[in-house]
A and B are shown apart, each in its own frame.
Chain A
Amino acid sequence: MMWFVSRRLVYLVPTLIGVSIIIFVLLRVIPGDVAAIMLGDYANPKDAAELTAKLGLDKPIIVQYGEWIVGVLQGKAGVSLYHGNSVAGELWKAIPVSAELAVLGVLLSLIIGLPLGLISAIKHDSIIDQVSRLVSVLGISIPNFWLAILMLTFLAILFEWNPPVYYQSLIKSPVDNLQQMLIPAITLGSFQMALVSRMTRSSMLEVLRQDYIRTARAKGLREQMVIYRHAMKNAMIPVVTVVGLNFGILLGGIVIIEQITGVPGVGRLTLQAINQRDLAQIQINVLFFGAVFAFSNLMVDMIYGFLDPRIRQS
């Protein structure tokens, strides 16, 4: 297992280097002069040249990349030209907020999605099954941002309830924080919830038809034992795949949901940076998203290894 994990970790390195190169090159092909865009319409050539030099944009691109990546590894990825703070510091402040949101979203999706899919498979073709299938196809089809808008709008109209306006941290005032995080977490998790319940249902249905399940029942095991011990562990592999593959949608959702609900996390910071053409901040944030996504793929591989010993060997 250790060997398996360490080999996977080594694979992460080239991917991350590739991600950093792609994001760096992408942001250097912006049509037009970055300095001129940042200074606006009234820039004079001297200021523009000064800013170009300050940004290091006059150096060859390989040198620029080298300086940037060394900086990132040392934990200082430059300062924002918009607000003058360290971009790594800004990112660092935003990470716990987004992490809380993502964890809550995934937890909600599992807490609702798993039992829904499981009941659906055990009570195949019953009314519960039909309802849960309807819920999951709706969850996949309704865009998360519309769900958030609907909840915010209609909770305000019908119950005159609005989440607290100013963001509170979980540690300082947990009640306010959880009220603020409720709608973002539900809307962020809705898509995953639907996927989990769909995948759990279909994969349980397939596993329950297998011979070893019949054997388990035939030797007189209790039905609960059959389902939890024998069926679920095997049924979980495709579920993990689907959740892992679609973790990227969750990360994209973070950008949108934080924007609507005003949660000051990484997504909102990234969007602000894009709107302000704050190169240094965009670079580090997108690199962060890439790293998280690559790491989540790694986690999926490891969970595979845990669920299916054959994968560990190969």
Chain B
Amino acid sequence: MIAPADPIIERGNRWWRIATNTTAKSCALMSRKPIGSAGAFIFLVMIILAIFSAQLATHAPNKQSASNRLLAPSTAHWMGTDEAGRDVWSRVVYGARVSLYVGLVSVVLATVAGTALGMTSGFIGGRTDIIVQRIVEMILAFPTLILALVIMAILGPSVNNLIFAVVMALTPRFSRVVRGCTLATKEEPYIDAARAIGAKPVRILSLHLLPNILAPIIVLASTNLGIIIFIEASLSFLGFGTPPPTPSWGRMLSGTASGYFQIAWWLAFFPGLVLSLTILGVNLLGDALRDIWDPRLRGR
């Protein structure tokens, strides 16, 4: 047997080992999942756009200029200017903020709420489960976008309301899936064992059940992020999303701008292109994650 390593050397090497290990692992992953990595790359670029909008924008996003109306893309205005003389590139860059902020915050909130609801309902079972599931079914009977639209119409346009509407519309969907996983897992012997040694339900749920259904939950969240970004853009497009003057991709494609699409194609093209790329990146990434973590669905 090899003698135990000197603890000081061991500690010095540890971070180096973790670093090389992570790099090697991600390289291996990239060669195994090139398409998923491309998706991750696109998503990363969008996050950089959102974080460094102030540095990446070439103009103030809301600065109007009568002399610069409807200019075609050029070196001064990479994506042209809109009907009020605002720089489209700068607005697209700032638009990433709203889209990703709403997308990420909503997906986290809906996942947490859906997980809590689904796990509790599935674990307790009995009458509680039946009642919760009937309510969930009623909300599920509404098409997601239409439910979010009605909630936005009631609350009025604002970023927080947008997040609330999306979370309200998606939590029941999430809880349904999590409940299914819970029902399948709660009969496992290790759950019985935990119960037998007298663990409280909260402990069983958080320490025994949750870690075992975490993979499908993460997959669920990542595959729904694209849908959430799409819903945000749709609501903004219909005029129920983020209020002006905040630039958002959905809103840039509607309103007064839409009257100029046929004489200024760049107004119709670039915001939608960046929006589509973002959703594409998220979808590719989600597919790859699903392949890795949920082998049952491999290839779907």
Between A31, A206, A248, the greatest number of chain B beta carbons within 10 A of the residue's beta carbon is seen for A248
Interface residues on A, range: 35 or more
Contact of B151 among A26, A140, A252, A259 (CB under 8 A): A26
On chain B, the residues within 8 Å of A152 by CB distance are 261
- Which chain A residues numbered 236 to 292 have a C-beta less than 8 Å away from chain B? 247-249, 251-253, 255-256, 259, 270-271, 274-275, 282, 286, 289-290
- Which chain B residues numbered 245 to 300 have a C-beta less than 8 Å away from chain A? 253, 258, 261-262, 265, 268-269, 272, 275-276, 279-280, 283-284, 287, 299-300
Docked CA distance A270–B238 (Å): 12
Q: Which partner residue on chain B sits nearest A162 by CB separation?
A: B262
What string of 1s and 0s marks CB contacts (under 8 Å) between B114-142 and chain A?
00000000000000000000110111011
| B300 & A198 in contact (Cβ 8 Å cutoff) | yes
Known: A149-B261, A294-B141. A26 touches B154 (CB 8 A): yes
| B276 & A255 in contact (Cβ 8 Å cutoff) | no
Docked CA distance A141–B144 (Å): 17
On chain A, the residues within 8 Å of B262 by CB distance are 153, 156-157
| A255 & B230 in contact (Cβ 8 Å cutoff) | no
The A-B contact count (CB < 8 A) is: 135
| B237 & A145 in contact (Cβ 8 Å cutoff) | yes
Q: Nearest Cβ in chain B — how far from A91, in angstroms?
A: 14
Stretch from A17-25, A45-53, A63-71, A173-181 that touches the partner: A17-25
- Excluding A21-B138, A145-B237, A203-B300, 16 further A-B contacts by CB distance (< 8 Å) are A14-B134, A18-B134, A22-B139, A26-B154, A141-B280, A146-B253, A149-B268, A153-B261, A156-B262, A157-B262, A248-B143, A255-B149, A256-B234, A256-B237, A275-B239, A282-B153
Chain B interface residues toward A at CB < 8 A: 134-135, 137-139, 141-146, 149-151, 153-155, 226-227, 230, 233-234, 237-240, 253, 258, 261-262, 265, 268-269, 272, 275-276, 279-280, 283-284, 287, 299-300
Q: List 13 A-B contacts (CB under 8 A).
A: A16-B141, A18-B141, A140-B226, A143-B276, A146-B276, A150-B268, A153-B265, A198-B300, A205-B299, A248-B142, A253-B145, A274-B153, A289-B143
